Amino acid sequence: MKTDSNTLNLSTLGDMGLYVHIPFCKQKCMYCDFPAYQNLQDYYETYVYALVQEMDLWVSEHPESKERSIDTIYFGGGTPTELSIQQLQMIIDKIKSIFTIDKNCHMTIESNPGEVDLQYLTKLVKLGFNRISFGVQTFDDKALTMLHRSHNGEKAKQAVYEAKEAGFTDINIDLIYGLPRQTLEDIQHNLNIVKDLPINHISTYGLQVEVGTYLYHLVQKNLISIPSESIDESMYDTMMAGLKKLGFERYEISNFAKGNSYSRHNLKYWHYIDYLGFGAGAHSFYDGIRRSNNRNVMPYIQSVDRYIMPTIDTETITVERAQEDFCFLALRTKWGLDEQKFEDRFGVSVHNLFGNILEELVTKGLLEYQNGSYHLSSEGAKHGNYVFSQFIRE
Amino acid sequence: MSTKKIRNFCIIAHIDHGKSTIADRLIEYTGTLQKREMEAQVLDSMDLERERGITIKAQSVRILYKAQDGEEYTLNLIDTPGHVDFSYEVSRSLAACEGALLVVDAAQGVEAQTLANVYLALEHDLEIIPVINKIDLPSADPDRVKHEIEDIIGLDASEAVLCSAKSGIGIPDILEAIVNKVPAPPDKSDAPTRALIFDSRFDAYKGAIAYVRVKEGTIKAKDTIRMMHDNKDFDVTELGIFTPNLVPVQELPCGSVGCIAASIKNVADCHVGDTVTLADNPAPEPLPGYRKAVSMVYCGLYPTDSKDYENLRDALEKLQLNDAALEYEAETSLALGFGFRCGFLGLLHMDVIQERLEREYNLSLITTAPSVNYKVYKTNGEMLEVDNPAKLPPPTEIDYIEEPYVKATTIVPKDFVGTIMELSQDKRGEYQSMEYLDETRVSVVYHLPLSEIIYDYFDKLKSATKGYASLDYELIGYKQSPMVKMDILLNGDPVDALSIIVHKDRAATRGRALAEKLKELIPRQMFEIPIQAAVGTKIVARETVKAWRKDVLAKCYGGDISRKRKLLEKQKAGKKRMKSVGSVEIPQEAFMAILKVED
């Protein structure tokens, strides 16, 4: 491993991930603060050309990245399945023509139930996608309508079965708890449905009321009420216990898998491995530098059109910051913070740098130590932000 | 050198009426500083002063002015602090002058707060020149303001100078008025030297520097000076004048204003109000008016990080030199460790000192709730003075307690008289008198416990009168009151730094309010924290800070690690200003919670 005094060269570490952002949706969900826009159908084609153009720009600046093996590809959004099969095909062809793609590449695409049919799903599999992630959120129809989701509970189940039939090996659904007017019974109801579905992965997280969203506006004006903190916490507890009972293993704070069917792409983030991101608002981590693209579709397209990378933020990660990031990212997963891996990467023992913090967190019952690595305890997982923030030095 | 061409003057003005701007224009007009050297508001040089728009420390500047009579005059402008807390410093500054500009806003007219300083100036026999500023404002009404000056203050305003410092109108007229109306200092060059210290400052290389007005005799660069209040002698190392930058000179003649450096290492040897004389021909008597400033408000100041204790002590020592009114002595708290009990003139003074310590000396501090000085008569006949609630003896040893009372004079528009009376009554005040100053303004006098004034009387007064009221108070003595100590228990343990002394009839209400406020201020922690307010063994209020809630960010969109990290950094920053007491982490603000409760 090669390090200089300020930056860290991590380019030799493992296969990379590749992320493609498709910022379009049929309808924007009221809680969403991601780069996702509705009513932009007229720009889909232009956007796809821009994406392809961005990849060309990237490799002209970083020709060596062509040689790095890529073993996960993730189409996220927005809703990538807003694009036609031909448009998706164009992007995938470009990726394959430029980069070195591993033959066991894990290829995920995000979608919404009710917006794709069996025929479309089958074609996705033909394009090479082997994993699909549905933004189900809940199976409760009242809540879905209120959230401006276009599907209902029945369609959600149907989408999962059709994906299975189309040939997807890995199927994920996203579930949100703490939704407006949601009750503990609703959570239990969701778990009952999950029990019978042919899925092997669940992402679940508590609703965040983000500033600037329509939901935020409604909550501010008291036009909608979200569950109290204590109900929210009970929902969390119910989800955790319920998923465990159904055989889902919590391998990351908000991700649960059956039989090692992890989201291999998302593991790149936690395992501090490089990934490239293309599209409006996409993020990449490459060669010790974190970059992010312009979130807005039009400026993104215009920039790429003029042969200028649409990067709006570049951060060169110092060794100190890399060490901190490495710790709190690793702690999000079941594998935890491994002493040996830390030392292999940074050439210094994690105890030299964070010994006091680790000891204190163990004493407080937030971390557990086992076989050379530290893991969040169940209490620690609940208060992850506190634990993680301890690793950020002055 | 004769004193005939010297004029020493100050500027009296209400906050915002334009004192600093006028000072700037005078300096600019006479070319004392080139315009490009001017930073807006030259005289208020401390950051804090500029931000708050109040003058805390007196400063001075020498202006050379060629008058219309063809002669060049030396005008010494001595700046005065503008707040009720600093009246001793104001009186010392005034004593260094022969004249004063009374600046009144042409739109707002005479404000009550200005009056106190005008009367102080009249007491010192200063020649007062009315200046009506901001005459170019659309709402300006100079004629009404002239009437006000005549009716309310009783000064002849017929020759008041009209100006607008902002636009530079009338500045030459002000300079001429100073030359023609302010008397020259009396020439007593031959008398034994007496110079009044009206300000002082600490310089890391030169030691304590005294800012003086030479009243009699002369001070030369090679003299040995004597401080008359403690009879200590020092060899002068440097004499200087302010232009406003310090310029060394060989002598400070009679009537002049300047500064003296004399390797004075001990800050206590250079007190504002003291008289400087010469060791080889000392004056028989000091100048009148020296007094040690009286502290009225006390609080504990502790470094957030105990490693900073020494730094805090050094900083206090230096500030005390600069600010004669600050008192401090070492104290310890079980909860907060080593710190200092400090005495202040009032709440604003306390705030200012705290901020200066944090800003100028880069210290992070915890301030405990302010207290007054109680006289505690014990059953064994002993009398204790207690300004720290934690030091109050157990109730069984106390015969009775006396608390300080002040005479509070409030000047308000007449429509607010009812409000003032209601508020004062509620704060255990005793009505004394009421007087109409003119058709609209009333002066209301109450005797009030000082503790109520520092608690929230002033804030309440301001909000109840929409800011129109002005308050002045002076200590009048002690009165017996049924005071009790209220302890605050966190997680079952009393936290000494949170104890307060309250009137027994108010203990329950204040205890409840304080417990509620603390519940808001203390963040949730790993375990539930009961907050109890207790008088003796009796619990008067109880609240609970629930154990922390779930706090973990789940969704990570498209590998945006930087955003996650920023959130964590923010969370971490919030923790930094906490003090661990036992197993509970308490934020700095909690120790001042009592000032923030509503009751």
What sign does the CA torsion over B507, B508, B514, B519 have?
positive
Mutate to test the interface with B, among A211, A329, A386, A387 (most CBs of B within 10 A): A386
Is the pLDDT higher at A285 or at B50? A285
Backbone region of residue B16 per phi and psi (left: phi > 0; alpha: psi in -120 to 50; beta: other values)? left
Instruction: Kindly tell me if the per-residue pLDDT of B117 is higher than 90.
Output: no
B80: exposed, middle or buried (C-beta count within 10 Å: 0-12, 13-18, 19+)? buried
Mean pLDDT for A177-192 is 93
Give the percent of chain B with pLDDT over 70. 86
Integer Cα distance of A158 and A142 in angstroms: 18
The pLDDT, as a whole number, for residue A104 is: 93
Element (H, E) at B171: helix B171-181
**Closest chain A residue to the Cα of B527, Cα to Cα:** A364
The pLDDT, as a whole number, for residue B258 is: 92
Instruction: Kindly tell me if the per-residue pLDDT of B223 is higher than 90.
Output: yes
The token pair that represents B36 in the structure block? 């490009």
Estimate to the nearest angstrom the gap between the alpha carbon of A245 and the chain centroid.
Answer: 24
CA distance to partner chain A, nearest, from residue B564 (Å): 9
Mean pLDDT for A335-342 is 94
Mean pLDDT for A63-75 is 95
Lowest mean pLDDT among A115-129, B436-450, B491-505: B436-450
Mean pLDDT for B556-573 is 80
Lowest mean pLDDT among A21-35, B27-41, B291-305, B481-495: B27-41
Estimate to the nearest angstrom the gap between the alpha carbon of A324 and the chain centroid.
Answer: 21
pLDDT band at B109 (very low <50, low <70, confident <90, very high): confident
Mutate to test the interface with B, among A251, A363, A388 (most CBs of B within 10 A): A388
Integer Cα distance of B231 and B207 in angstroms: 18
The token pair that represents B535 in the structure block? 């008088």
- Closest residue by Cα to residue B573 from A304, A394, A306: A394
Question: Per residue in A219-247, pLDDT tens?
Answer: 888 888 888 888 988 999 999 999 999 99
CA atoms within 13 A on the CB side of A219: 19
CB-nearest to A290 from B561, B571, B572 is: B561
Integer Cα distance of A382 and A377 in angstroms: 9
The pLDDT, as a whole number, for residue A135 is: 94
Question: Per residue in B322-350, pLDDT tens?
Answer: 676 788 999 998 888 899 999 987 776 78
Residue B566 contacts A, CB cutoff 8 Å: no
Instruction: Kindly tell me if the per-residue pLDDT of A182 is higher than 70.
Output: yes
The token pair that represents B54 in the structure block? 């109040």
Mean pLDDT for B417-435 is 91
pLDDT band at A7 (very low <50, low <70, confident <90, very high): very low
Question: Per residue in B343-397, pLDDT tens?
Answer: 987 776 787 788 888 888 888 888 888 899 999 999 999 999 998 898 899 888 9
Beta bridge partners of A376: A367
Task: Tell me the chain B residues in contact with residue A313 when contact means C-beta distances shorter than 8 Å.
Answer: 562
Lowest mean pLDDT among A185-189, A199-203, B534-538: B534-538
The pLDDT, as a whole number, for residue B292 is: 64
Are the Cβ atoms of B549 and A385 closer than 8 angstroms? no
The pLDDT, as a whole number, for residue B356 is: 81
**Are B369 and B592 spatial neighbours (Cβ–Cβ below 8 Å)?**
yes
Mean pLDDT for B304-314 is 90
- The amino acid present at B515, given as its one-letter code, is A
Mean model confidence pLDDT for chain A = 91
Element (H, E) at A214: helix A214-220
Q: At what angle do helices A44-61 and A297-305 cross, to 10 degrees?
A: 50
The pLDDT, as a whole number, for residue A241 is: 95
The pLDDT, as a whole number, for residue B86 is: 56
**Are B526 and A382 spatial neighbours (Cβ–Cβ below 8 Å)?**
no
Are the Cβ atoms of A269 and B557 closer than 8 angstroms? no
Are the Cβ atoms of B558 and A281 closer than 8 angstroms? yes
What single-letter DSSP state applies at residue A113? T
- Closest residue by Cα to residue A283 from A21, A78, A12: A21
Strand A100-111 versus strand A69-77 pairing type = parallel
Give the percent of chain A with pLDDT over 70. 97
The pLDDT, as a whole number, for residue B550 is: 75
The token pair that represents A308 in the structure block? 């200028």
Question: Per residue in A345-363, pLDDT tens?
Answer: 999 999 999 999 999 999 9
What single-letter DSSP state applies at residue A6? S
Question: Per residue in A238-273, pLDDT tens?
Answer: 999 999 999 999 999 999 999 999 999 999 999 999
Strand B398-413 versus strand B470-480 pairing type = antiparallel
Residue A19 contacts B, CB cutoff 8 Å: yes
Are the Cβ atoms of A236 and B550 closer than 8 angstroms? yes
**Are B281 and B225 spatial neighbours (Cβ–Cβ below 8 Å)?**
no
Looking at mean pLDDT, say which of A32-41, A44-53, B191-200, B403-412 comes out highest: A44-53
**Is the peptide bond between A78 and the residue preceding it cis, with omega within 30 degrees of 0?**
yes
Integer Cα distance of B94 and B110 in angstroms: 20
Lowest mean pLDDT among A79-93, A163-177, B32-46, B541-555: B32-46
**Are A173 and A156 spatial neighbours (Cβ–Cβ below 8 Å)?**
yes
**Closest chain B residue to the Cα of A252, Cα to Cα:** B554
Residue A323 contacts B, CB cutoff 8 Å: no
Residue B556 contacts A, CB cutoff 8 Å: yes
The pLDDT, as a whole number, for residue B366 is: 87
- Closest residue by Cα to residue B445 from B404, B405, B415, B473: B473
Mean pLDDT for B39-58 is 46
Question: Per residue in A165-176, pLDDT tens?
Answer: 999 999 999 999
Mean pLDDT for B459-483 is 80
Mutate to test the interface with A, among B568, B575, B576 (most CBs of A within 10 A): B568
**Are B286 and B216 spatial neighbours (Cβ–Cβ below 8 Å)?**
no
**Is the peptide bond between B130 and the residue preceding it cis, with omega within 30 degrees of 0?**
no
Task: Tell me the chain B residues in contact with residue A17 when contact means C-beta distances shorter than 8 Å.
Answer: 559
Backbone region of residue A372 per phi and psi (left: phi > 0; alpha: psi in -120 to 50; beta: other values)? left
B495-B501-B507-B511 Cα dihedral, nearest 10 degrees:
-30
What sign does the CA torsion over B368, B373, B379, B383 have?
positive
**Are B417 and B442 spatial neighbours (Cβ–Cβ below 8 Å)?**
yes
Integer Cα distance of A80 and A129 in angstroms: 12
CB-nearest to A233 from B526, B549, B560 is: B549
The pLDDT, as a whole number, for residue B162 is: 93
The token pair that represents A236 in the structure block? 């969390």
Q: Alpha carbon of B562 to those of A179, A263, B568: distances in Å?
A: 27, 21, 10
Instruction: Kindly tell me if the per-residue pLDDT of B558 is higher than 80.
Output: no
Instruction: Kindly tell me if the per-residue pLDDT of B36 is higher than 60.
Output: no
Integer Cα distance of A326 and A307 in angstroms: 34
Beta bridge partners of B502: B484
Give the percent of chain A with pLDDT over 90. 76
pTM of the model: 0.60
Integer Cα distance of B163 and B185 in angstroms: 27
Estimate to the nearest angstrom the gap between the alpha carbon of B557 and the chain centroid.
Answer: 52
How many inter-chain contacts (A to B, CB under 8 Å) are there?
Answer: 90
pLDDT band at B458 (very low <50, low <70, confident <90, very high): confident
The pLDDT, as a whole number, for residue A3 is: 36
Mean pLDDT for A23-34 is 87
**Are A267 and A333 spatial neighbours (Cβ–Cβ below 8 Å)?**
yes
The pLDDT, as a whole number, for residue B165 is: 87
CB-nearest to A325 from B549, B558, B565 is: B565
Integer Cα distance of B546 and B525 in angstroms: 8
The token pair that represents A203 in the structure block? 């992402």
Mean pLDDT for A106-125 is 96
Mutate to test the interface with B, among A20, A25, A33, A389 (most CBs of B within 10 A): A389
CB-nearest to A385 from B552, B560, B561 is: B552
Question: Per residue in B179-197, pLDDT tens?
Answer: 999 999 999 999 999 999 9
Mutate to test the interface with A, among B527, B551, B556 (most CBs of A within 10 A): B556
The pLDDT, as a whole number, for residue B54 is: 40
Instruction: Kindly tell me if the per-residue pLDDT of A13 is higher than 50.
Output: yes
CA distance to partner chain A, nearest, from residue B552 (Å): 5
Lowest mean pLDDT among A43-52, A197-206, B262-271: B262-271
pLDDT band at B48 (very low <50, low <70, confident <90, very high): very low
The pLDDT, as a whole number, for residue B566 is: 85
Predicted ipTM of the assembly: 0.86
Are the Cβ atoms of A268 and B555 closer than 8 angstroms? no
The pLDDT, as a whole number, for residue A5 is: 34
Name, in order, each residue with C-beta under 8 angstroms of A349's C-beta and a sequence gap of 6 or more: A339, A342, A343
pLDDT band at B56 (very low <50, low <70, confident <90, very high): very low
Is the pLDDT higher at B555 or at B495? B495
Task: List, as ranges, residues 493-532 from B with C-beta within 8 Å of A.
Answer: 526
The pLDDT, as a whole number, for residue B293 is: 61
pLDDT band at B51 (very low <50, low <70, confident <90, very high): very low
Q: Look-up: residue for tokens 């479309």?
A: A120
Q: Look-up: residue for tokens 């957030």?
A: B304
Looking at mean pLDDT, say which of A40-44, B107-111, B241-245 comes out highest: A40-44
Integer Cα distance of A231 and A180 in angstroms: 12
